[in-house]
Amino acid sequence: MGNFYRDNDDIQFLMKHIDLAPLADLMERGFRFAGQFDTAPANAEEAIQNYDLVLDSLGRLSGEFIAPRSEEIDREGNTLHEDGTVGYAKGIAESLKALAKAEVMGFTLPHQYGGLNFPNLIYSAAIEIVSRADASLMNIFGLQGIAETINFFADDSIKNRYLPDFAAGKVTGAMVLTEPDAGSDLQACKLKAFQDSEGRWYLHGVKRFITNGCGEVLLVLARSEPDRSGGLGLSLFVCDRGPTVRVRRLEDKLGIHGSPTCELFFDNTPCELIGERQRGLVTYVMSLMNGARIGIAAQSMGIAEAAYRIARDYASSRKQFGVAIEKLPAVRDLLIDMKIQIEAGRALLYETSRVVDYEVGLTKISEDPGEDKESQKEAKQQLRTIKRAAAMLTPMSKYFCSEMCNRVTYDAIQVLGGSGYMRDYACERLARDARITTIYEGTSQLQIVAAVRGVSGGTCEKYLSELAQAPYADSVQDLLALLKEGTERMVKAAAFVKESGVDYMDLYGRQLVDSAIALINGYLFCGQASSKAQMETQVAPNGQSDQPKTIPMAQRKEMIARRYIARNAEKIRALTAEICSGDKSTFKEYEILAGPAPELS
């Protein structure tokens, strides 16, 4: 099935277009680890070469080994044994062994624990590649953020015990957050954490909807302060899977069948505190979930890419009314929109990952007692702006990419018609796998609530101003004028929302966030159209010739930018007008418009 890295022109282009050298320098702390560890590069050129080699290896493994197993994995699912342990689908177990052998289970972990110490940007590309092959496998491969959380916040003894095994692929983990009565509202968590007379910690209670809850290492959010309600009563703990942790059931779910979703019972389970008491939710889990949200955005990209390729191939070969259906205007327009939305999602995701990398790197510098005071002062100053941008872009990426993924998989089935509804093609599986992406790690509605604060609070306006000041080609100056006009409309709408109160902000949050994302992606596309990266891409025959041709990638990106920005300019006008309408019928007339709650038999 080929190499899922090498066959994707857009990923290849972005790896050349984005300036990876500063990221490499930041991750490697000026390449101070060279000579200490075998995996540590000596300079930026060597680091970037390592990124390419690892993605190439992962792309080949995904295309040739993981993808052929995905259909059988979906049908087989997981097995709950009588003793409360779980058996993976055969293909999942085989793929996990292959990933461990490829030494890619410690993507972002430091060299000292056997990790690759790669930027989140490269990890996002890797998650996308694996997800295109099998979205359910990504739910285990993509949980490396658990190890990252241990690295950031745990003491050295805990790090030394767990991180080498994570990097070697000897263990997998789980984020154990959700409870039967505490879904998105994690502050309502009730699972009890208590100490014995000697100060040792234990866990008791139930958790539900836990992805890979059968993993060997569990990060558990629990109530350590029984007399304190809300988030300040919660702490984060780590424990091993053992006889006191039982999987009570496996959820029978719509999609991602290869990923076990478990209900867990903790029966006075020994555990250890991560970091400080009472910071479990506000500091540690928020950090963990932000990383997970970027992971779900990347998972969404892989699913959408897989679905689009099936639809594009089918449309070029399936004939109706004497011609290939891609000749029909409605189908052709649909495929173009699918492709552009995928590339918009990838642009936003990779930019978000880049910003998060700067946040992580600058945080390490600012907190390192070995750094000189001037470097720390500069890092802290830069962090203020970077943190706000990352806090806004992360929920934006998760929201946009997951919603886009659901549209693309839906449209892929539409392109295939009746065949898309059948199991003969993977479209139906991809649509089932896609559906969860707008739900777990925070629903789309929650992502909007998180992102709209940045849009209405001025972070987005400042971020767009910085994007506007970048150097662009003369050929996109007219597009920049449209983006400037759209920004002015968005800023006006944001001010109106802010004056209208929190409820109004949440009511029109989607329209405001959609406008902001369209503007951000517009600038990112203009940047790609102005790129100095030397790369060509193959385009389909033009109808006069059966032979494909190649054009510079930047030229193609300008065509995408024109369509994307022009069409979104009209949408932004409509969205901002709707925001400023002042319509509050949702609040005032809900009972009339929605009608009474029906009685379900």
Distance CA 355, CA 364 (A): 14
Q: At residue 350, does pLDDT exceed 60?
A: yes
Residues 310 and 393 grouped into a single domain: yes
Q: Which of 220, 249, 280 is the last residue of a domain?
A: 280
User: DSSP secondary structure string, 394-428?
Assistant: HHHHHHHHHHHHHHHHHHHHHHHTHHHHSTTSTHH
The pLDDT assigned to 309 comes to: 98
CA 514 to chain centre: 18
Mean pLDDT within 344-352: 98
Look up tokens 């972070």; give the residue. 459
Domain stop point among 412, 437, 462 = 437
pLDDT above 90 for 534 = no
CB-count burial class (<10 Å; 0-12, 13-18, 19+) for 96 = middle
Q: Residues 149, 293: one domain? A: yes
Q: Quote the domain boundaries for residue 181.
A: 173-280
Does the structure show a pLDDT above 80 at 101? yes
Amino acid of residue 53: L
Could you give the percent of the chain with pLDDT greater than 90?
A: 89
| pLDDT tens digits, 211-253 | 999 999 999 999 999 999 889 999 999 999 999 999 999 999 9
| Mean pLDDT calculated for residue range 258-280 | 96
CATH number of the domain encompassing residue 473: 1.20.120
Same domain, 425 and 567: no
Axis-axis angle for helices 156-167, 145-153 (nearest 10): 160
Helices (H), 262-372: 286-317, 329-367
**Residue 445 covered by a domain:** no
79 Cα distance to chain centroid: 28
Residue 282 has pLDDT above 80, yes or no: yes
Number of domains in the chain: 3
Q: Residues 408, 466: one domain?
A: no
* pLDDT (0 to 100) of residue 531: 96
Does 38 or 400 have the greater pLDDT score? 400
Residue 19 near residue 97, CB atoms below 8 Å: no
pLDDT of residue 404: 98
The count of C-alpha atoms lying within 13 angstroms of the C-alpha of 509, restricted to the half-sphere facing its C-beta, is 22
What pLDDT, in 10s, does the model give residues 417-428?
Answer: 999 999 999 999
Place of tokens 């680890």: 33
Domain at 411, CATH number: 1.20.140.10
Q: Is residue 442 part of a domain?
A: no
* 107 contact partners, CB below 8 Å, separation of at least 6: 115, 116, 118, 122, 123, 126, 144
Over residues 288-308, mean pLDDT:
96
Does residue 160 sit in the same domain as residue 178? Answer: no
Question: Which residues, at least 6 apart from 395, have a Cβ–Cβ distance to it below 8 Å?
Answer: 293, 442, 446, 447, 448, 450, 451
Let me know whether 274 and 304 are in one domain. Answer: no
Residues 380-408, mean pLDDT to the nearest whole number: 96
Residue 378's Cβ-side half-sphere holds a number of Cα atoms within 13 Å equal to 7
Mean pLDDT of 188-203: 95
| 367 and 432 inside one domain | yes
Same domain membership, residue 86 and residue 26: yes
Residue 395: per-residue pLDDT: 97
Are 262 and 86 in contact by the 8 Å Cβ rule? The answer is yes
Looking at the structure, tell me whether residues 530 and 585 fall in a common domain: yes
Q: Tell whether the model's pLDDT for residue 272 goes beyond 90.
A: yes
* Greater pLDDT, 203 or 377: 203
For 537-587, the pLDDT digits (tens) are: 888 776 555 677 899 999 999 999 999 999 999 999 999 999 999 999 999
Kindly report the backbone phi and psi dihedral angles of residue 442, in degrees, each rounded to the nearest multiple of 5, phi listed first: 105, 120
Q: Quick check: is 198 in a domain?
A: yes
Cα–Cα dist 248/461, whole Å: 49
What percent of the chain is modeled with pLDDT above 70?
99
User: What average pLDDT does this structure show over 510-519?
Assistant: 98
Reading the block at residue 16, the tokens are 């050349």
Q: What pLDDT shows up at residue 545?
A: 57
Is there a contact between 70 and 133 (Cβ–Cβ < 8 Å)?
A: yes
Range in 22-31, 179-188, 285-294, 585-594 the model is least confident about:
179-188
Spatial distance between the Cα atoms of 408 and 338, rounded to a whole number of angstroms: 6
Whole-number pLDDT of residue 321: 84
Half-sphere exposure of 194 (CA within 13 A, CB side): 12
Q: 52 with 384: CB under 8 angstroms? A: no
**Is the pLDDT reported for residue 182 higher than 90?**
no
The answer to whether residue 313 scores a pLDDT higher than 90 is: yes
pLDDT tens, position by position, 55-99: 999 999 999 999 999 999 999 999 999 988 999 999 999 999 999
Paired residues of 32 in beta bridges:
none
Q: What is the pLDDT of residue 521?
A: 98
Residue 520 · residue 467 · CB < 8 Å: yes
**Which residue, of 252, 280, 308, is where some domain finishes?**
280
For the segment 473-503, what is each residue's pLDDT rounded down to a tens digit? 999 999 999 999 999 999 999 999 999 999 9
User: Distance between CA 211 and CA 173 in Å, rounded?
Assistant: 9
Residues 193, 280: Cα–Cα separation, whole Å: 12
Distances 49 to 3, 14, 18, 32, 46 between C-alpha atoms, Å: 17, 15, 14, 18, 5
* 14 and 60 share one domain: yes
318 φ/ψ sector (left φ>0, alpha ψ -120 to 50, else beta): beta
- CATH code of the domain containing 198: 2.40.110.10
Question: Residue 292 is encoded by which pair of tokens?
Answer: 């997970």
Q: Phi/psi of residue 171, each to 5°?
A: -135, 155
Strands 86-87 and 79-80: antiparallel
Structural domain contains residue 598: no
The whole-chain average pLDDT of the chain stands at: 95
**348 contacts 517 by C-beta, under 8 angstroms:** yes
pLDDT at position 388: 96
